[in-house]
Structure formats: C-alpha cells, structure tokens
Structure 1
Amino acid sequence: MSASAMESAAVTALRSVLHRIHQATERSGRSPDRVRVVAVSKTKPVDVIRRVYDAGHRCFGENYVQEIVDKAPQVPPLPADIEWHFIGHLQSNKVKPLLAAVPNLEMVETVDDKKIADRLDRVVANLGRKPLKVLVQVNTSGEESKFGVDPSGCVELAKHVKQGCTNLVFSGLMTIGMLDYSSTPENFKTLSNCRTDVCEALGIPEEQCELSMGMSNDFEQAIELGSTNVRIGSIIFGPREYPKKDNAQ
C-alpha cells in the first residue's frame, strides 16, 4: 500500500471506529463523549499520524519510549494540541528521557508498582512539569506474562499514588484483556470491581476514576462494561510493521 493510501485508510478507519463507539455507548446508556480513543500508531510513520491529526483526532499513544520520543516532536506543528499517552511497560531508567522529551505527555497508563510511581513523581518535580496523570495497571487475568499489580493490591497502590505522590494525579485503572479474548468479560468486570474498591477507599466518586480497557478486538465490549478509555491501534493504522531481520548475518 502506498503512503497516501495508508494515510487515507487510517482516516476512514478512525471514522468507522468512532461510529462503532457511538453505537456501543448508546447500548450502555452513556454519551460518546465519555469515551476517549487513544490512537496507537506503533511502528507506523509520522505522516500517517499527521493525517489522522488533520482529520480532527487529538489523542495518540505509544508502547515504546523511543518511539514516542522520536514521534512526538514531529507531529503536529502545534505539539501542545496533542494529548500523548504512554501505554507500554515503563522502566525506571526510561522515565526521565520520556518526560524530558515529550512535554505534552498527558498520561502514563501503566503504573504497576510503587517504585515506578515514586520515580515518575520525582522526575516530574525535578523537571518542573505540571502534575502528570497516571493510571494504575491491574493484572486482571493473572497471567505471568502480563505486567500490572494483582487486583488485591490495587487499592494500596492507588492510595500510594494519590496520597504519597504529589506530582502525580491518580486518574484511574488500566488493564489488558487476555490475548485470546476467552476471559475478556471477566477481566473487565474485575477491573470495574477494583474501581469500586479504590473509590470507596479513597473517598472519590466513580466518575473520577477512569477505566482504560479495550483494544482493537474488544473495545465495544469494554465500553459496554464501563470503559472510559480505549486503546485502538491495528484497526486504525493497520497491522504492525517490524523491520525484517537479516538472516544472512
């Protein structure tokens, strides 16, 4: 597919996603403006992101620090207009490069322990940035291959972020459903139950605690189960494209 065709396809796909979200919110009795779409452009060129931006979309996400660091300064001409989300596993040594290079980073969705929360808190303070929104990542499926705090520990971690990290804004919870989608509804219901527990412990209304759950294959179901933030990549941008390895070496 040519570059221009790829760009046009992404815009058409985004409009289809927004239409499907509208239908899903109607089924769940909510307004479409209560659901944020994070367009995840992993491995895709900057020109495609620009085209989606030109179509009116403003929220983008990346899984890898180097990729968001490379892309963020390039799109758009007014970078403050974009809301960037980091949605991958974040290592402590990558926090400063991420926050220093992406001044319009709006949210880190993957805080999974106190160590990374404390590191983010310190770096935000040292850089003089405005407080950073964060989500606590919960491993709702119990898979060892997944990052995230156990559901039994989400209240303690949420408390630590809200009460002990003055430069962070606790904004909600995030999870990744099982890759084969066999237990996705249960995963999403578990996160919703975690929100109930967290909000009770922190004394905040559930409307102030986001649920980031749902990706390309399950976002409609996630919305129907209460998601306020869906992370859509392959439907909008197409399959991921990784450099081919040179087998001759």
Structure 2
Amino acid sequence: MSDAASRLAEVETNIAEAARRAGRKAGDVCLIAVSKTHDADAIRPLIAAGQRHFGENRVQEAAAKWPALRGEAPDVTLHLIGQLQSNKAEEAVALFDAIHSVDRSSLVQALAKACDKLGKRPQLFVQVNIGDEEQKGGCAVADLAALLAEAKAAGLAIDGLMAIPPADVEPAPYFALLDELAERHGLPLRSMGMSGDYEKAVMLGATHVRVGTALFGARD
C-alpha cells in the first residue's frame, strides 16, 4: 500500500468510527482532501487510492492544475473552500462543483449572475464567522437569515453552512452551533472539521470534512 493510500485508509477509518459513535453512517460524510499548495504529482497518488473530492483555496491555483488532472480523472469533484472575490465568481462557477465560502451580498449577486450565464449550479454553502473573528471571512451569525433570504430571492439554492472555529480553543461548541444553525434554517449540509478535529466534527453533525495535513503530510 502506498503512503497516500495508507493515510487515506486511516482517515476513512477514523471517520467511520466517529460516525458509528454518533449513530451515523460513514457514507453520510464526504471527505474533502485539501490539495491547496500541492502540485499534481502530490495529488495523483490520492486519486489513484480512490479519493475523489478535493478542495482548493484559490481559483487561480485550481485553474492551473485541475483541468489536466480532471482529464485523467473526470469523476473528481472539486470544492472551493477559500475566500472568493466577487470578480472571480464566473470563473469559480465554471471550475468548481461546490463553493463553501458564500458570505456576503455582493458575492451572492455575482454568483447568481454567473450561474444564470453559464447554466451551471454548483453546490453552495454559506460560510459563517462562527467565532465572530475580525480577521476571518464569513457571514455574521446575526446576518445569516438575511443572507439566506437574499440568496433565495436571487435564485441561488443554498445547500448548507461552512465554518472554521477559532484556533487553539475547543471546537465542539462551534460545531454544535453550526449544526444548530443549519437545522434552524432547514439546510442539510454542514462543512466543518479539519485535520486536527474532523472526528469531533463528524460526531457533531458534519457532512463534509476538509482534511489536508492528515492526507498529504505536513506542508513545507
């Protein structure tokens, strides 16, 4: 077994065990391999091991490497998990199957225009600034209902919520809050949990976990 296959198997086992403890099915959780900053040669072993969902932070970086990789593996699903500038909305809609960082009115309008123009509807998550941190993107909890209403009025279907808890604190209360917010607004998907806390996120309702280091190893 290759190193990539071994790491993937370990993460999948951990997800399955966390799901079992929570009375859930492992198949209810989508594992997104965070491939940002990794080149095609680092990504191919995970594709060969069976991984099919990948996450990128920047439109430009993804555009440089994924068209060729998707030529080799056309069934890959590509997720944008980083902040998105409104002027990149059309390029993002063309390239990505899911966008996890919808967080403001101007982006809602840009995405709606891009979706209508391209006739494509990627899966969309509203990013919530769950810890009310000034340095982070995301919609304030207090503004979530209004942003969801604006998206609906613009013809955008929002499928779920995404959040990144504050660093160096216990993430469980933040995961629980995101799960509660998604439930309150009738949204089925929760994108939460990374390499250090994805098992806890799964136990608290995550449907999508974004794992980089545990799959690729530490970045330089």
Same fold (TM over 0.5): yes
The alignment partner of 1:190 has SS state of: helix
Query: CA separation in 2, counterparts of 1:21 and 1:98?
Result: 29
> How many Å separate the matches in 1 of 2:184 and 2:87?
32
The answer to whether 1:119 aligns with 2:113 is no
Instruction: Name the counterpart of 2:71.
Output: 77
Structure 1 match to 2:172: 185
* TM superposition shift of 1:79: 4.9
Instruction: Please give the secondary structure, in 2, of the residue aligned with 1:173.
Output: strand
Q: How many residues align?
A: 220
DSSP 3-state at the match of 2:218: coil
Residue 198 of structure 1 pairs with residue 185 of structure 2: yes
Mark the runs of 5 or more structure 1 residues left unpaired by the alignment.
Answer: 1-6, 200-207, 242-249
How far apart are residue 51 of structure 1 and its match? 1.5
Partner of 2:124: 134
- The answer to whether the 8 Å contact 2:53/2:78 transfers is yes
1:165 paired with 2:154, answer: yes
- Higher gyration radius (CA): 1
Residue 14 of structure 1 corresponds to 8
Q: CA RMSD in A?
A: 1.6
**Moved segments of 4+, more than 2 Å:** 7-11, 76-80, 96-100
Q: Give the deviation of 1:198 after TM superposition.
A: 1.1
Q: CA deviation at 1:193?
A: 1.8
Structure 1 CA distance for aligned equivalents of residues 77 and 13 of structure 2 = 21
Query: What is the TM-score when the length of structure 1 is the normalising length?
Result: 0.83
Hey, what's the Cα distance between the residues in 2 that align with 1:87 and 1:15? 23
Aligned to 2:164: 176
The correspondence of residues 216-227 of structure 1 with structure 2, limited to 5 A, is 216-227=195-206
SS of match in other structure, 1:170: coil
1:230 counterpart letter in structure 2: V
Q: Deviations over 1:123-182 (max 9, x none)?
A: 122123x22211011111111111111112212212222x2232x3311100001111x1
Provide the secondary structure at the position in 1 that maps to 2:157. strand
Residue equivalent to 1:51: 45
TM-score normalized by the length of structure 2: 0.94
Report if aligned partners of 2:93, 2:121 keep a CA contact under 8 Å in 1: no
Task: Give the whole-Å Cα distance in 2 for the aligned partners of 1:75 and 1:57.
Answer: 13
Secondary structure class of the residue paired with 1:60: strand
Give the drift of 1:78. 4.7
CA offsets 1:170-226 (integer angstroms, 9 cap, x no match)? 11100001111x131111111112113212xxxxxxxx5201110000000001111
Q: Structure 2 stretches of 5 or more lacking a match?
A: none
Which is further off, 149-158 or 215-224?
Answer: 149-158
Q: Please state if 1:93 is matched with 2:83.
A: no
